Structure 1
């Protein structure tokens, strides 16, 4: 039996602890209220409360004066007018897996619905692309310009991706072209996501995938990545490894090395991102009109955001407690602290 209310209370405790230590941003993992138990009847039923939990996080953010990226919350999609009372039988609700960025005044600044669904998710959830297409057909309105939007926050321009989006560098490029300097990634990634045939070659291949890809994405996009993964019993395949990845530095000291439960304060010097861009000039090349991959740039550059050239922040990265049965599964979290100008990374 999943217990979203218990998990919300646990996440709130972690956020309060983060705020008491000076954090400015708390980041929770994917499915932090429910875990991934789509065959449980209560999983779909809990989605009815998605908007209510969003409101509760907004009140918590305002109370504590802390920004919150509320992991992901599964919720029912607004039904189109064509799916109204004229239908002969009620249809299965459309479930969306959405992450929210809430500022320290409790304002909802941005939301992102997962685009690249992991294979088992596709039988239960609807991607942002498929939902936008459905609405454009049902409502006769143009589809959204693109799923990957950047929004201005007290920390600067931020984009959000979720879990399996990590496998698609195009998603990162779209955010970078729109000005994102930091990309937040709630996740629910386990070793068992690889089948037995693959695990026979490398039992830790999923962890290898995550850690190498995070560092690569940070370097190739001159961006800071904040990755918050769910944790739990190792025998169930949880490996955690929540972390911040930066160009030049790689995995920032203080990040999690495994799936242990807890919350960590990690100092992040975002001047590293600026130094990397000055040396690599990746963003500059991406914006060149004569760039040899210009066609790709034209396709990806579908959103714009105010340019903010630096980020100095405390980010609290709190992982979820998942109650699939009565068993308590661990929570893994980190906090990232603002650095004054001229100060280096604090280990």
Structure 2
């Protein structure tokens, strides 16, 4: 059972493209500050060490250093006594010489890696460069999303485009996840110019709507951490914690600017939502209508 109240730090970084060491130093500074403010969990964005620069050879070179950076975050978690989801860390696939994996980890406050997740649903531009989790494992059936038991309760990890698929959050909710943590690299200019001509704020509309919907339909807390940066360069930000009934929790970020949000989360709201909607109860019934 998760603690009734959690203080979570959302680190909305503006990654310096392909400067992994500088980005790690920035993340370390913010994580240390979050720990001094009583946060029990710090979350970083997707691609926070590299930015999205897949055509540059340095992108793959940084992926070859995945174990090194994971070890650094484990030491940082132990030293600061804080749980960390270090956004995503690119790594090389052992199953294909050209493949890379986009992976998220949960590191405990004692510095132990308690679980990992490889992105299942790749955004279209990623598919030329990365392997999805199922493709990497050669898995065509069975659960793609597994719950991790942690000091702050049962959690699930998703990454960015996974948010588009309600099956992902539902699979985690059915398995018992109370927090679903989503490192993200989403910008306003991700859609095509034609799509943006219909609504230039379409990505923000989807993100805010989907987070609230997923929270309600799973009676789970959605912990969403996006990259930040100049609005004129297409950055969106909006890192937030979202609860059913409550919506976006006070302290969530409303801008694209780089920054850190310290959010106090009342986890009792999940139990109240479940008592009202009985989503998890129905999901776990053998007679549940939808398979």
- Normalised by the length of structure 1, the TM-score is 0.77
Indicate if the aligned counterparts of 1:112 and 1:147 stay in contact, CA closer than 8 A: no
Mapped contact 2:245–2:273 kept (Cα < 8 A): yes
- Kindly indicate whether residue 133 of structure 2 is the aligned counterpart of residue 128 of structure 1: yes
Post-superposition CA distance 1:62-96 (Å, at most 9, x none): 111100001000011224xxx7xxxxxxx42x200
The equivalent of 1:169 in structure 2 is 166
- 1:1-38 Cα offsets, whole Å, 9 max, x none, are 62100000100000000001111111000000000010
Pairwise CA distance, 1:260? 1.5
Cα RMSD (Å): 1.2
- Change beyond 3 A, Cα 1:230–1:115: same
Aligned positions, number? 275
Would you say the 8 A contact 1:3–1:33 is kept in 2?
Answer: yes
- Compute the displacement of 1:147 (Å): 2.0
Contact 2:231 2:257 in 1 (8 A): no
Deviation at 1:144, TM superposition (A): 7.9
Give the Å deviation of 1:258. 1.2
1:37 maps to which of 53, 61, 72: 53
The equivalent position to 1:47 in structure 2, one of 63, 67, 74, is: 63
Task: Map 1:239-278 onto structure 2 (within 5 A).
Answer: 239-278=236-275
Counterpart of 1:57?
73
Give the conservation status (yes or no) of the 8 Å contact 1:61–1:68: yes
Give the match for residue 5 of structure 2: none
Distance 1:171 1:41 in 2: 32
Task: Report whether the alignment pairs 1:23 with 2:43.
Answer: no
Task: Name structure 1 gaps, 5 residues minimum.
Answer: 84-90, 137-142, 297-347
Q: Within 1, Cα distance between the matches of 2:180 and 2:87?
A: 13
After superposition, the Cα gap between the structure-2 partners of 1:104 and 1:147, relative to the gap in structure 1 and judged at 3 Å, is: same
Shift of 1:232: 1.3
Q: Which of 1 and 2 has greater Rg?
A: 1
Q: Once the two structures are superposed, what CA deviation does each residue of 1:197-224 show, in whole Å capped at 9, x if it has no partner?
A: 1111100001100010000000111000
Tell me, yes or no, if the aligned pair for 1:240 and 1:259 is still in contact at 8 Å.
yes
Cα shift readout 1:265-317 (whole Å, capped 9, x = no counterpart): 21110100100000000000111111222xx1xxxxxxxxxxxxxxxxxxxxx
Match for residue 92 of structure 2? 76
SS in 2 for 1:159: strand
- What CA distance in whole angstroms lies between the structure 1 residues aligned with 2:232 and 2:212? 26
TM-score for both structures, normalised by structure 2 = 0.92
Asked if structure 2 preserves the Cα contact closer than 8 Å seen for 1:228 and 1:242, the reply is: yes
Deviation at 1:52, TM superposition (A): 0.7
1:104 to 2:109 alignment: yes
SS at match of 1:157: strand
Q: Are 2:177 and 1:184 aligned? A: no
Give unpaired runs (5+ residues) of structure 2: 1-16
1:193 corresponds to which of 190, 195, 219:
190
